[in-house]
Structure 1
Amino acid sequence: MIFNAFLENIAPYNAGRPVDEVVRDFGVLPEDIIRLASNENPYGCSQKVIESIKKYAKNISLYPDDSMGKLKELLAKTYGLSAQNFIIGAGSDQIIEFCLRIKCNASSRVLMAKTTFAMYEIYAKQTGAKIIKTSGKLHDLKEFEESYKEHGADVIFLCLPNNPLGECLDFVEVYEFLTSIDHKTLVVLDGAYQEYAAFKDKNKSIDCKKLVLDFSNVIVLKTFSKAYGLGGLRIGYGIAQDDLIAKLHKIRPPFNVGSLSLEAAYWALKDEEFIQKSVEDNFTFMRDYEDFAHSHQMDFIPSYANFITLFCDNKTLNSTEICEKLLQKGVLVRDLVSYGLNALRITIGTKEQNLKVFSLLQANLS
């Protein structure tokens, strides 16, 4: 059988070891598993979400409202925009795919950071587009500008904060960068972790309303999978001028987001107190990881997200071996070897979860 040639150059996304396998292979009890590999909210989701799903479950035999009007109206109120400025997707990943499909083909170029979210490249390659990456490890807008001038781009991705490293550009410098980009180039600002960045430093906060008013070629992506704790329901959204949103809707399949996901997202967005507490605790406990890194001579990147990246180079350690040893004890963290880094990305967990991580790391670093 003959398949599309682009498949030869695509490595599937690695979501990590399934929990069931860890339980089976290492004899760890399911309740003792600590998931700190996928940047989920360790506190789960708002109780208001749980209650709403219980009430709404009787309607699951019916197709969802394809207009998604209830959630869009709340988003519009939240951002001071119109419902026409939003598109809802099965996770923000789906909207990444939509963005590339409306812009790219085999003659296109897509510009991104050297180390960033893997799905940008995977989806771009599915269109046949050529991938252009900056040379440095972190987001550097001067490198983006130089690459853009040299190669051009049909789509540019900026991850704010960046996954998997955690650094984040200031909004002022991002805005200035956008003014230098031709309006024919689509710029995707991925704000999956913006709730965390905006809390830690207001200078990192993306002003979505200003971008929508000023740029026809910019879309901001957000998700309910991280701070809102709805990873299992797969729902995210994009914010842009209505003309761009209308183009994305041309390729959106009908009923692409389920009823329970829409209902959960609505109530998650309304519970600001839950988000505030989750984000506060995240940075309280992140300081413990920073202290641990300092005391064990491990380099790290100051993070504006809900995870921290610890480098193993200074200790002549192997990140893959450490991840495997933690896995055997039921602790799942992310090995960044696939990015060419000898590093661990660890989601900031609860106090009890973090203490177990420190204990296991201590045993493997000494």
Structure 2
Amino acid sequence: MKFNKLLDTMPIYEAGKPIDLIARKYGINKKNIIKLASNENPFGTSLKVITKIKSSMNEMFRYPDDSMYELKNSLSKKFNVNKSNIIIGAGSDQIIEICVQAKCDKKSTVLMANTTFAMYEISAKKVGAKIIKTKDDEHNLEQLFDLYEKHGADIIFLCLPNNPLGECLDKNDVYAFLKKISKKTLVVVDGVYQEYASFKDKNKLINASDLITKFPNCIYLGSFSKAYGLGGMRIGYGIADKNIINTLNKVRNPFNVSTLALIAANEALKDEDFVNKTIKSNFNEMLRYEEFAKKKDIEYIDSYTNFIIYKFGNKFDSKILSEKLLKKGIILRDLSSYKMNAIRITIGTNKQNTKVLEVLNKLLK
């Protein structure tokens, strides 16, 4: 059977291994498995959201409100933008795909950092666009601009903070870069982890309203999967000039987000205490991983997210280490698929982190 030839060179996105799979494979009780591989909220979901969902189960038989009025209204107040500036997607990755479909074809060029969110490349390859990457793994604006001058770009992806590495550019540096970019180029500013970055360092804060006012060729992406604890609901959003949003809505499928996801996201925005508790715990616990790395002489990247990267060089093999951890019931993210000898660890609860560090300490001896 023949398929679209563009799929021949397309990588398959490697998701974090599910708990049920590891339980079956290694015969481990699910309750004893710690999953810190997918950057989920270790505190789960706000109780207020859970209560709201339970009381809304009788709405499942209805198609969603395709105008998504309630959630857009809440987001417009939060970000000080108009509802016409907002698009909602089944996760921010759906909006990434919509952006690429709306802007690119086989003659297009897409520019990004060497190591960044895999869905940028996957979405671009689906339409046959040419992909240009920087030499450096982390975001290097000088390299990005040099490549932009040489090759041009229909879309530039900036992941701020960057997944899977965790580094983040300062807002002023980003703005200086954007001033040099043609208004014909769509710049996707992926702010899925912005809640974490702006908490740790106000210089990293990208204000969505300010961004799209100064740079009407930009779209800001956000998500409810991380700090808000709604990864299983698959819901994210984009904020941009209304002309961009109108075009993207031509590509967006009707009823692309479920009724319960819309309800959950809208309720999650009301519980900022839960989000603040999550983020404060995240950076307190991250200090333990940083201290561990220093004691073991392991290189790590200063992270502005809810995860940390350990880079092993020639000291350890990330594939072997990850497999040994799986046998112990600990799921972390091996980054060998990114051609890196490294692991990514989502910051868990105090109890989870204690267990992970104990096991790592034994294995790394």
Length-normalised TM-score, structure 2:
0.99
The number of aligned residues is: 365
User: Which residue is equivalent to 1:135?
Assistant: 135
Q: Which runs of 5+ in 2 are unaligned?
A: none
User: Which residue is equivalent to 2:286?
Assistant: 286
User: Which residue is equivalent to 1:82?
Assistant: 82
Equivalent runs, 1:94-133 vs 2, <5 Å: 94-133=94-133
Equivalent runs, 1:192-231 vs 2, <5 Å: 192-231=192-231
Q: Distance in 1 between matches of 2:300 and 2:136?
A: 16
Equivalent runs, 1:165-204 vs 2, <5 Å: 165-204=165-204
Q: Secondary structure at the match of 2:8?
A: helix
Q: Distance in 2 between matches of 1:170 and 1:127?
A: 32
Q: Which runs of 5+ in 1 are unaligned?
A: none
Code of the aligned partner of 2:337: S
1:19 Cα deviation from its structure 2 partner: 2.0
Question: Which 10-residue stretch deviates more, 28-37 or 228-237?
Answer: 28-37
User: Which residue is equivalent to 2:320?
Assistant: 321
Identity of aligned residues (%): 55
User: Which residue is equivalent to 2:277?
Assistant: 277
Code of the aligned partner of 2:348: G
1:146 and 2:159 aligned:
no
Q: Distance in 1 between matches of 2:127 and 2:362?
A: 46
User: Which residue is equivalent to 2:69?
Assistant: 69
Code of the aligned partner of 2:358: S
1:167 Cα deviation from its structure 2 partner: 0.1
Q: Secondary structure at the match of 2:146?
A: helix
1:114 Cα deviation from its structure 2 partner: 0.2
Code of the aligned partner of 2:56: Y
User: Which residue is equivalent to 1:45?
Assistant: 45
Q: Secondary structure at the match of 1:321?
A: helix
Equivalent runs, 1:251-270 vs 2, <5 Å: 251-270=251-270
1:17 Cα deviation from its structure 2 partner: 2.5
User: Which residue is equivalent to 1:5?
Assistant: 5
Q: Secondary structure at the match of 2:114?
A: coil
- Structure 1 segments (4+ residues) deviating >3 Å: none
Q: Distance in 2 between matches of 1:344 and 1:304?
A: 16
Question: Cα deviation per residue 1:171-204 (whole Å; 9 max; x = unaligned)?
Answer: 1111111110001100000011010001000000
1:2 Cα deviation from its structure 2 partner: 2.1
Question: Cα deviation per residue 1:95-138 (whole Å; 9 max; x = unaligned)?
Answer: 00000001100010000000000010000000100100000111
Q: Distance in 2 between matches of 1:298 and 1:214?
A: 41
User: Which residue is equivalent to 1:337?
Assistant: 336
1:313 Cα deviation from its structure 2 partner: 1.5
Does the 8 Å contact 2:17/2:37 carry over to 1? no
Q: Distance in 2 between matches of 1:183 and 1:160?
A: 20
1:272 Cα deviation from its structure 2 partner: 0.6
Q: Distance in 2 between matches of 1:53 and 1:35?
A: 24
Question: Cα deviation per residue 1:279-336 (whole Å; 9 max; x = unaligned)?
Answer: 000000000000000000000000000000001125x210011111111111110001
Code of the aligned partner of 2:58: K
Q: Secondary structure at the match of 2:269?
A: helix
Q: Distance in 1 between matches of 2:253 and 2:218?
A: 22
1:214 Cα deviation from its structure 2 partner: 1.8
